């Protein structure tokens, strides 16, 4: 096949897959969000599910994906589904959460207008809930598409033990060119991918602008916070009670009519109740399926293997400690850059006009694609300066480029959303940069910062997963660090030791979920209670 | 004084609330034995102190909330849920920002078996009725607060309601806009061009209430109950600067403010 055509097809296949999976996330999210506002059982299960999976990095799913799709389904279909599932899990959670939050915050007055006109499910979705969720979807599209590109290029080619699996896309095309040492084709692929990503980003920017200008609420109807309404909704019906037999007789026909209405109403209420139970049943069924899969997975591992896994847990936790130090380093660097650059972009319109699209395009350009070339070009110099610390530096770099933009965007948005009065006060008091930052800007952007920090931490793991063990980047050159849980999981996967990979991922998932509950959520609560200026928490 | 307490029962009742009791989820009892009747051709106002539950009562009357006990009847039939025949107009101006004025109005016809052309035609009529002819293609954010409230009213009209429930509809407008809209709305309401038969409005603005209402229900106490029912017989148009108007105003204040101790 013509080389250029192959590249274009590969890039388009990747881009289209990402876009289709994002669209799938959006559509499924609408129905799930609607089900969750209609059924408390469904909502409770759904939200716990999203919150855990949103806080657990996507790479946690890798071994599970391998087991389900590669070993059970197998063949090209299994490989394709594995790739799609990984990308889906990368893009889906924040879109689903955004849609749920949007549905939950639809002003009651607007819901009452649709009730007044007796709208059914699809009319409500079409005319109210879906349009209302568009700005939040637009806000979540940038990180979702960036993550989608990042993970699809990683998961298009992967190795388990002696088996290598690949699906058609830019990752596999590039892999072929690298194997053939066809550098011309490699650079052309990178260029075309860059052009496609810039186009996608430009389209998303236009869409965001359109979404904000058209769909943002302009009414003064109060926006509900997440949570339950405080209005009693009883479904009791009172039978018509007459005072005496005569009046009962005289009003017989009237009551007959009322009874018919009551019957109709009762039927309708019953139907609603069935729907609620239906949503709840679906949620419970999903929960049972997940539990069943988990239990059968646990049972499939032999006792002595469990013994080995338990014995190795201490080392896994020790390795995770190393990784947390790396994440902390990445976070600190990202925050320093975010605070200075984000502030600069927010207060300089010209810089913002040019800077934001460039950063958006750069952040969407998947690091796994361009990193090997950067590595080839810089490794000799970096080794000369940093010696044995070189690989560590590259891993930190990979973690940084895969995540820094979250906290940057969040802080930039926070500064932009600061009430004008705050700026006037800082001018009035003639506060210097650092005092202004400490006393006004950081506290008022706190909810945004916490949200950005949380996403940055979650995404940093992706970079570590790729960087901690990357064999044969070119020639015999590999990237490998001394200790790290991500390296252990990578190595186990590459050696076909799925049990260890899955156990490591489970330990990792539990620690991250616990961390999310005890730290991130608490910080969000503090942000909400103390630092929220207007709708900071919700819009961030 | 033209206003007088009204005790006699009424005929031609369109919407009525019978012995309504209502409590919030936390057990707080809001209403006890509320009885309200809205006759054909009458503009009913419900007044009461802030936080007494006026908006909640309006939602019970519209079938949006279920009472703990008692019944709401629309033209003799018990009302169990919201219906287009009883249109609610909110205190906050509720327009859908992603729809033009015309599309906002067409929203209330979406569940009816009407062709798009019919809907467009009817939306135009409704908009022109509230003085928005020529503004059909504007989006709410291109409109003033008064215009947006007119769009919301036009949307309610387009559903052909028998009863309007108005929840302080002028509260978010400046005084001049509110005054103009009040007069326009009253004239439109009972022009006979629509199937509208009665209006129930809640408000804490006593001047507004005296300008518009034929009957005033006064809510007070905890849990809230109707402590008085006043028929306003002043000639229209009513002049808020007249002595008669002011004496009526004083009487309403008397209902709502606790007696002060004399020094």
Of B77, B87, B93, the CB nearest to A116: B87
pLDDT tens per residue, range B222-237: 888 998 899 998 888 8
Q: What is the mean pLDDT of residues A136-155?
A: 82
Taking CB atoms and an 8 Å cutoff, what residues of chain A touch B99?
A: 127
Contact B98 A131 (CB under 8 A): yes
The CATH number for B57's domain is: 3.40.50.300
Q: B130 falls in which pLDDT band (50, 70, 90)?
A: confident
* pLDDT above 90 (res A262): no
- Measured distance CA(A140)–CA(A54) in Å, rounded: 13
A254 touches chain B (CB under 8 A): yes
Measured in whole angstroms, how far is the alpha carbon of residue A177 from the centre of its chain?
32
Burial of residue A298 (number of CB atoms within 10 Å: 0-12, 13-18, 19+): exposed
CATH fold match for the domains A1-231 and A302-540: yes
Contact B64 A115 (CB under 8 A): yes
* pLDDT above 60 (res A243): no
Contact A110 B98 (CB under 8 A): no
Q: What is the mean pLDDT of residues A370-375?
A: 86
Q: From the CA atom positions of chain B, what is the Rg in Å?
A: 19
End-to-end CA distance of chain B: 28
**Domain at A302-540, CATH homologous superfamily:** MetI-like (1.10.3720.10)
3-class SS letters over A73-95: HCHHHHHHHHHHHHHHHHHHHHH
Contact B81 A134 (CB under 8 A): no
Domain that holds residue B251: 4-85+197-256
Determine the residue of chain B that is closest to A221 in CA distance: B92
Taking CB atoms and an 8 Å cutoff, what residues of chain B touch A231?
A: 24-25, 56, 65
| Preceding omega of A500 cis (within 30 degrees of 0) | no
pLDDT tens per residue, range B53-87: 999 999 999 999 999 999 999 998 999 889 999 99
- What's the DSSP call for residue A69? I
B216 domain residue, yes or no: yes
Structure tokens at A84: 């799609």
Among B94, B49, B64, B167, which residue's Cα sits nearest to residue A107?
B94
- Exposure string of B118-132, with b = 16+ CB inside 10 Å and e = fewer, is ebbebbbbbbebbbb
Q: Please tell me the predicted confidence (pLDDT) of residue A178.
A: 79
Q: What is the mean pLDDT of residues A351-377?
A: 85
Q: Say if CB A97 and CB A54 are below 8 A apart.
A: yes
Determine what percent of chain A is predicted with pLDDT higher than 90. 18
**Maximum average pLDDT range among A222-231, A448-457, B150-159:** B150-159
Strand stretches in A124-258, DSSP E:
157-160, 163-166
Q: Please tell me the predicted confidence (pLDDT) of residue A538.
A: 41
B66 domain residue, yes or no: yes
Q: Please tell me the predicted confidence (pLDDT) of residue A50.
A: 79
- Measured distance CA(B215)–CA(B158) in Å, rounded: 26
- What's the DSSP call for residue B89? E
Q: Which CATH number fits domain A1-231: 3.40.50.2020, 1.10.630.10, 1.10.3720.10, 3.40.190.170?
A: 1.10.3720.10
Count the domains in chain B: 1
Contact A265 B80 (CB under 8 A): yes
Q: A76 falls in which pLDDT band (50, 70, 90)?
A: confident
- Measured distance CA(B21)–CA(B53) in Å, rounded: 12
What are the residue ranges spanned by the domains of chain A?
A: 1-231, 233-300, 302-540
Q: A242 falls in which pLDDT band (50, 70, 90)?
A: very low
- Measured distance CA(A365)–CA(B93) in Å, rounded: 44
CA distance A154 to chain B (A): 39
CA distance B196 to chain A (A): 16
Residue of A115, A125, A218 to mutate for B, most B C-beta atoms under 10 A: A218
Quick one: CA torsion of A62, A68, A73, A76, rounded to 10 degrees? 0
End-to-end CA distance of chain A: 47
- Measured distance CA(A465)–CA(A484) in Å, rounded: 9
- Measured distance CA(B178)–CA(A226) in Å, rounded: 33
Contact A268 B65 (CB under 8 A): no
- Measured distance CA(A389)–CA(A65) in Å, rounded: 33
Contact B107 A233 (CB under 8 A): no
A242 touches chain B (CB under 8 A): no
B136 domain residue, yes or no: no
Q: Which of A425-439, A482-496, A511-525, B13-27 has the lowest mean pLDDT?
A: A511-525
Contact A234 B66 (CB under 8 A): yes
Of B82, B97, B156, the CB nearest to A218: B97
- Measured distance CA(A4)–CA(A68) in Å, rounded: 35
pLDDT tens per residue, range A45-69: 887 777 777 766 666 666 667 667 7
Contact B96 A231 (CB under 8 A): no
Determine what percent of chain A is predicted with pLDDT higher than 70. 83
Among B46, B49, B51, B50, which residue's Cα sits nearest to residue B34?
B46
Give me the interface pTM, i.e. the ipTM.
0.80
Instruction: Report which of residues B190 and A490 the model is more confident about.
Output: A490
Interface A-B, measured as beta-carbon pairs within 8 A, has a size of 118
Of B81, B92, B139, the CB nearest to A222: B92
DSSP string for residues in A158-188: EEETTEEEE-SSHHHHHHHHHHTT-HHHHHH
Q: Please tell me the predicted confidence (pLDDT) of residue A419.
A: 79
Strand stretches in A352-447, DSSP E:
none
- Measured distance CA(A392)–CA(A400) in Å, rounded: 12
Contact B97 A219 (CB under 8 A): yes
DSSP string for residues in B4-28: EE--S--SSEEEEEEEEEEE-TTS-
Q: Please tell me the predicted confidence (pLDDT) of residue A258.
A: 52
B239 domain residue, yes or no: yes
CA distance B102 to chain A (A): 14
Determine the residue of chain A that is closest to B143 in CA distance: A218
Taking CB atoms and an 8 Å cutoff, what residues of chain B touch A113?
A: 88, 94, 96, 107-108, 155
B126 domain residue, yes or no: no
B44 domain residue, yes or no: yes
Our CA angle for A105, A108, A114, nearest 5°, is 110
Query: For B90, left (φ over 0), alpha (ψ -120 to 50), or beta?
Result: beta
**β-pairing, A469-474 with A477-480?**
antiparallel
Residues 6+ apart with CB under 8 A from B258: none
Helix, strand and coil in chain A, % to nearest 5: 80, 5, 15
């Amino acid at each position: 096949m013509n080389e250029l055509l192959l590249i274009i097809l590969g890039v388009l296949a990747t881009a289209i897959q990402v876009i289709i999976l994002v669209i799938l996330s959006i559509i499924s999210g609408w129905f799930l969000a609607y089900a969750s506002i209609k059924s408390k059982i469904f909502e409770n299960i759904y939200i716990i599910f999203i919150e855990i999976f949103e806080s657990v990095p996507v790479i946690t799913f890798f071994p599970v994906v391998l087991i389900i799709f590669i070993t059970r389904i197998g063949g090209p279909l299994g490989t394709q589904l594995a790739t799609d599932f990984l990308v889906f899990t990368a893009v889906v959670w924040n879109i689903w959460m955004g849609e749920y939050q949007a549905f939950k915050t639809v002003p009651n007055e607007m819901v009452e207008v649709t009730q007044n006109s007796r709208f059914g499910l699809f009319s409500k979705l079409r005319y109210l809930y879906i349009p209302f969720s568009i700005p939040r979807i637009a806000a979540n599209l940038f990180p979702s598409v960036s993550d989608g590109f990042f993970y699809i290029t990683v998961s298009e080619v992967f190795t388990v033990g002696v088996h290598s699996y690949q699906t058609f896309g830019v990752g596999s095309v590039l892999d072929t060119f690298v194997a053939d040492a066809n550098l011309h084709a490699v650079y052309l692929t990178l260029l075309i991918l860059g052009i496609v990503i810039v186009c996608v980003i430009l389209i998303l920017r236009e869409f965001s602008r359109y979404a904000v200008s058209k769909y943002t609420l302009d009414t003064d109807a109060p926006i509900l916070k997440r949570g339950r309404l405080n209005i009693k909704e009883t479904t009791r019906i009172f039978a018509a009670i007459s005072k005496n037999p005569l009046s009962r007789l005289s009003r017989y026909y009237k009551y007959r009519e009322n009874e018919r209405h009551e019957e109709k109403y009762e039927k309708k209420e019953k139907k609603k109740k069935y729907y609620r139970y239906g949503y709840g049943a679906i949620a419970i069924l999903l929960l049972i399926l997940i539990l069943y899969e988990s239990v059968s997975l646990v049972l499939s591992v032999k006792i002595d293997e469990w013994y080995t896994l338990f014995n190795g847990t201490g080392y896994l936790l020790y390795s995770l400690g190393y990784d947390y130090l790396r994440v902390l380093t990445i976070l600190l660097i990202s925050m320093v850059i975010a605070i200075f650059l984000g502030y600069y972009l927010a207060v300089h319109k010209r810089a913002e006009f040019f800077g934001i699209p460039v950063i958006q395009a750069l952040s969407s350009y998947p690091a796994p694609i361009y990193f090997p070339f950067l590595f080839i070009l810089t490794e000799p110099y970096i080794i000369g300066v940093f010696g044995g610390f070189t690989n560590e530096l590259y891993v930190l770099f990979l973690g940084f480029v895969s995540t820094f933009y979250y906290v940057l965007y969040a802080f930039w948005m926070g500064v932009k959303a600061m009430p004008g009065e705050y700026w006037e006060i800082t001018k009035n008091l003639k506060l210097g940069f650092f005092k202004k930052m400490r006393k006004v800007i950081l506290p008022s952007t706190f909810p945004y910062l916490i949200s950005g920090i949380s996403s940055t931490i979650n995404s940093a793991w992706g970079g570590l997963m790729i960087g901690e063990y990357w064999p044969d980047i070119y020639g015999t050159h590999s990237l490998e660090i001394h200790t790290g849980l991500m390296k252990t999981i990578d190595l186990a996967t590459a050696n076909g030791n799925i049990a260890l990979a899955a156990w490591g991922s489970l330990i990792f998932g539990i620690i991250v979920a616990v961390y999310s509950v005890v730290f991130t959520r608490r910080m969000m609560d503090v942000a909400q209670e103390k630092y929220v200026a207007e709708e900071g928490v919700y819009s961030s | 004084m033209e206003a007088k307490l009204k005790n006699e029962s009424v005929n031609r009742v369109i919407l009525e609330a019978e012995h309504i009791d209502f409590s919030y989820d936390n057990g707080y009892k809001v209403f006890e034995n509320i009885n309200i009747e809205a006759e054909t051709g009458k503009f009913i106002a419900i007044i009461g102190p802030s936080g007494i539950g006026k908006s909640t009562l309006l939602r019970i009357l519209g079938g949006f909330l279920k009472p703990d006990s008692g019944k709401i009847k629309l033209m003799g039939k018990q009302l169990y849920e919201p219906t287009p025949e009883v249109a609610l107009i909110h205190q906050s101006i509720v327009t859908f920002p992603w729809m033009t004025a015309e599309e906002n109005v067409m929203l209330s016809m979406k569940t009816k078996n009407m062709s798009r052309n019919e809907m467009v035609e009817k939306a135009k009529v409704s908009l022109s009725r509230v003085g928005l002819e020529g503004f059909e293609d504007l989006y709410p954010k291109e409109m003033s607060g008064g215009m947006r409230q007119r769009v919301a009213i036009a949307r309610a009209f387009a559903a052909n309601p028998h009863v309007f429930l108005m929840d302080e509809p002028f509260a978010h407008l400046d005084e001049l806009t509110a005054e103009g809209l009040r007069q326009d709305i009253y004239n439109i309401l009972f022009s006979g061009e629509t199937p509208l038969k009665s209006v129930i409005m809640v408000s804490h603005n006593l001047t507004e209430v005296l300008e518009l209402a034929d009957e005033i229900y006064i809510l007070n106490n905890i849990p809230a109950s109707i402590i008085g029912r006043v028929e306003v017989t002043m000639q229209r148009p009513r002049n808020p600067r007249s002595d008669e108007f002011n004496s009526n105003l004083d009487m309403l204040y008397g209902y709502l403010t606790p007696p002060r101790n004399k020094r």
